[in-house]
Amino acid sequence: MSNAKTANRLIYLPLGGAGEIGMNAYVYGYGPAGKERLIVVDLGVTFPDMDGTPGVDLILPDISWLIARRNQIDGIFITHAHEDHVGAVGHCWQQLGAPVYARPFTANIARRKLEEHGGSPNVVKVVDPYPHVISCGPFKVSYLPISHSIPESAGLLIDTPDGRLVHTGDFKIDENPVVGDPWNAALWEEVAKPGVKALICDSTNVFSENEGRSESTLAPAITEMMQAATGMVVATTFASNVARLQTLATAAKAAGRSVVLLGRAMRAMVDAAQKEGLLIDFPAVISVEDALSVPRQNLMLLVTGSQGERRAASAQLAQGSYLGMKLKEGDTFLFSSKTIPGNERGVIKIMNQLSELGVDVVDDAGGKYHVSGHANRPDLVRMHQIIKAQVLIPMHGEHRHLREHAKLAEASGMTGIVAVNGMMLDLSGNRPKVAEYIETGRTYLDGSVQVGALDGVVRDRIRMALNGHMIVTLIIDEEGDMLGDPWVEIMGLPEVGRNAVPLVDVVEEDLAQFIGRAHAKTLADDDKLEKEIKMIARKSAQGEIGKKPEVTVIISRLA
């Protein structure tokens, strides 16, 4: 009996979110090694950028490990409705097949995603919060309401045969979050009482030294700003930040401004929040058509695109107009948001376009118009102190955040352990240890196709972007002789190089010379011929334009 019991193990395996901000996906398991029953916490996405993932539409966690263990999965628990926690549910569910648990608002969003991908909304089970318990294989899971920047966020209480785990999800400590559950210290104290084996805890803001501020502190400054503005006011924030939408809309109303929603995500989110009864006294929204006849000092546009997204409402307004709405001198544009690192260029571009239109831009430089949705360093310490777990496992953060969070835990006497994506921890016994390293990574949604990050597709795109592309075509006749000369086409390369003659002429000449010298044996061997031609074409281009392009060789053999 005791042997059988020691054969079981309790594991934690992050597949996304541990070593990055975004794409959260965590696995807990219990059972004999390799045969654990599994639950998944969150299935999020992250977003592509031109630097590393040009042309990609969305980045999903690589869930091959889970797919191979599909029959071991008992449930998928979504903590809240942000894209980096729920965004991959639609794309991945068919491959996993387990029931999805979520609180009502999150379930609403998850169901929309399943439907978009032809899945059934019925796989999503709406759950009540703690003390309600969901029995799921060897796990008993309860949703612990917590404040964050989207309604109905929750941490998870996970009771296992080997002890109690607390997974915070994303959170902040906010006793007055405007919309959604306030921070409830008593709840977390109660949960901590029986003793907690491990606290798996949000790490994104571990470098923010000051205590976090409440969402409710923003209303006075925002209202004042909207009252003082003389022209139209445009405000942008994440559409999912429902509390902020409420704050902005209430301020608009107080300033005698009608609210217009611009951008698909903005309208969808207000719609979902209203359906779930989360917005209270949200002022009536007017249509764009109606807005065109309202004086601009009586309008507040609530728009998507706070991160400078190219096709969002903000970007289009900055370029001149969106659905007939135009900005002009004297209008005010409020970024009620923080620019996520990496998005600066896009945001700054919009700010400059607005400046050219004579629009005054107000951003969060002074901290008056935005607060973070995540726990800062002192708030993390408070959570540590309440939960008093034996072990702190930092989750959701880049490596530097996880490491700093583990150090913070060690400083207050806990064991802190950094586990990055793919590092499976065995939490059985008194000290967690690394059980295995799982091959993990990212899957790119590219158009309608899922592509592995290591398939080379995106690597080739980056190479073409950096080096340009040269195509060499050759026709070889039935006798194995060249028919005509090699033909060169270029894309993304200068047409004329240092000799003031067309680049393609120079390369064609060099290739023709090579062919003239080449043995029949070389001409007969496609691989060898291709290799030689690439080398000559690259060298020739290097001499002419100082750059070695990507070369594709197309050999047509007439048969």
Number of residues that bind a second copy (CB under 8 A): 65
Binding mask 227-256 for a second copy (x = CB under 8 A): ------------------------------
Smallest gap from Cβ 67 to a second copy, in A, equals 17
Smallest gap from Cβ 147 to a second copy, in A, equals 25
The Cα-based distances of 92 to 29, 61, 545 in angstroms read: 19, 9, 46
* Phi, then psi, of 346 in degrees rounded to 5: -65, -45
- Which range in 149-157, 297-305, 422-430, 442-450 contacts a second copy by CB under 8 A? 442-450
What residues from 188 to 227 belong to the interface with a second copy (CB under 8 A)?
A: 207
Determine, following the binding rule CB under 8 A, whether residue 457 of this chain makes contact with a second copy.
Answer: yes
Query: Which of 134, 114, 141 has its CA nearest to residue 43?
Result: 114
C-alpha–C-alpha distance, residues 51 and 448, integer Å: 21
CB 39 within 8 A of CB 10: no
* Number of residues written out for the chain: 559
SS3 at position 392: strand
* Phi, then psi, of 261 in degrees rounded to 5: -100, 125
Binding mask 55-74 for a second copy (x = CB under 8 A): x-------------------
The b/e string for 104-129 (b: 16+ C-beta within 10 A; e otherwise) is ebbbbbbbbbbeeeebeeebbeebee
Complex with a second copy: residue 28 or 444, whichever CB lies closer: 444
Determine, following the binding rule CB under 8 A, whether residue 481 of this chain makes contact with a second copy.
Answer: no
Q: Hey, CA dihedral for 540, 541, 547, 553, is it positive or negative?
A: negative
> From the list 1, 2, 3, 51, which residue makes contact with a second copy (rule: CB under 8 A)?
51
Binding mask 317-356 for a second copy (x = CB under 8 A): ------------------------xx-xx--x--xx-xxx
> From the list 475, 482, 512, 518, which residue makes contact with a second copy (rule: CB under 8 A)?
475
Smallest gap from Cβ 199 to a second copy, in A, equals 21
- 3-state SS string for 266-326: HHHHHHHHHHCCCCCCCCCECCHHHHCCCCHHHEEEEECCCCCCCCCHHHHHHCCEECCEE
> From the list 33, 49, 267, 382, which residue makes contact with a second copy (rule: CB under 8 A)?
49
CB 294 within 8 A of CB 257: no
The Cα-based distances of 511 to 218, 479, 533, 536, 542 in angstroms read: 68, 20, 7, 7, 14
Complex with a second copy: residue 49 or 509, whichever CB lies closer: 49
Give me the long-range contacts of 480-487 (CB less than 8 A, separation at least 24): 480/520, 480/523, 480/524, 481/523, 482/515, 482/523, 483/558, 485/511, 485/512, 485/515, 486/511, 486/512, 486/515, 486/533
Complex with a second copy: residue 292 or 348, whichever CB lies closer: 348
Smallest gap from Cβ 358 to a second copy, in A, equals 8
CA-CA-CA-CA dihedral for 270, 272, 276, 278, to nearest 10: -20
Smallest gap from Cβ 140 to a second copy, in A, equals 35
- Which range in 4-12, 24-32, 47-55, 127-135 contacts a second copy by CB under 8 A? 47-55
Determine, following the binding rule CB under 8 A, whether residue 161 of this chain makes contact with a second copy.
Answer: no
Report the first-to-last Cα separation within the chain, whole angstroms: 74
- Which range in 127-135, 186-194, 273-281, 486-494 contacts a second copy by CB under 8 A? 486-494
Complex with a second copy: residue 288 or 457, whichever CB lies closer: 457
Smallest gap from Cβ 221 to a second copy, in A, equals 16
Give the footprint of a second copy on this chain (CB under 8 A).
19, 49-51, 54-55, 207, 341-342, 344-345, 348, 351-352, 354-356, 361, 365, 398-400, 403, 446-449, 451, 455, 457-458, 460-462, 464-469, 471, 473, 475, 483-484, 487, 489, 491-498, 542, 545-547, 550, 552, 554, 556, 558-559
